[in-house]
Structure 1
Amino acid sequence: MSPKGSRGTTILLAKASKPIQKEFIGNQSGGRVFLFLGTDDFLRDYQKVLEKGIEFVREPKQADYGTVAVFKDLYGNLWDLVQFNEDHPMNGSID
């Protein structure tokens, strides 16, 4: 999967292939956020995600680095929906 028009940003979604792997579905990170979905318009994308029925486990807040909320995917993995501040190193492209 990759954003429309992307030339390098991708996510590979793989199914568990062994019984021991299935035990870790939704808990690959021990209950911590480890996936980050960046946006250039937090409110727009927050509303879109809410409309799709995605469960937010932490409501939006202003942090030192930007605006963030935590949601859970279908398998229980925690994601940050985040719009980084303009001066944050994660804002923009990596050369």
Structure 2
Amino acid sequence: MRQSLHAVTLVVPDYDEAIAFYTQTLSFSLLQDIDLGGGKRWVRIAPAGAQQGSLLLAQANGPEQAAAIGNQTGGRVGFFLQTDDFQRDYTAMKAAGVTFEETPRHEPYGTVAVWRDPFGNRWDLIEFS
């Protein structure tokens, strides 16, 4: 048997705002943007050069989903952006206005720094050793 994790849903306030941030600020690729009718879309993005795995952007529908924006993982880091060159990407992200919560730190598994997207989701930028 062969399985893989295809996508993880990220609830956002607005499709186009989220697409703009991830594709323009972070240079993610827009893999799909399909109109499903009734205001719903199938929007998948992935980091540039990613071979598998993606984020499915889902515009919040109603107050319960809106309340989850930026807190889908209970305040923990919930997303991990792996890089092959930490310093390059850290510098570029800071120059693009990405908010880092800390200075880079070295852990036994690699170099890491926590950052937030404009919707409040906490991410690790990480280069594994």
- So what's the TM-score if we normalise by structure 1? 0.82
Are 2:33 and 1:26 equivalent residues in the alignment?
no
2:101 alignment partner, SS class: strand
Aligned residues: 85
Question: What TM-score do you get using the length of structure 2 for normalisation?
Answer: 0.62
Q: Does residue 9 of the first structure (1) align with residue 53 of the second (2)?
A: yes
Letter in 2 for 1:19: P
User: 2:56 is matched by which residue type in structure 1?
Assistant: L
Q: What is the CA RMSD across the aligned residues, in angstroms?
A: 1.3
Partner of 1:40: 84
Paired with 1:5 and 1:53, the residues of 2 have a C-alpha distance of: 22
As a proportion of its length, which structure holds more strand?
2
* TM superposition shift of 1:4: 4.0
Unaligned runs of 5+ in 2: 1-44
Percent identity of equivalent pairs:
48
Give 1:66 shift: 0.1
Quote the offset at 1:12 in angstroms: 1.1
Show the counterpart of 2:121.
Answer: 77
2: CA distance, partners of 1:72 / 1:7: 24
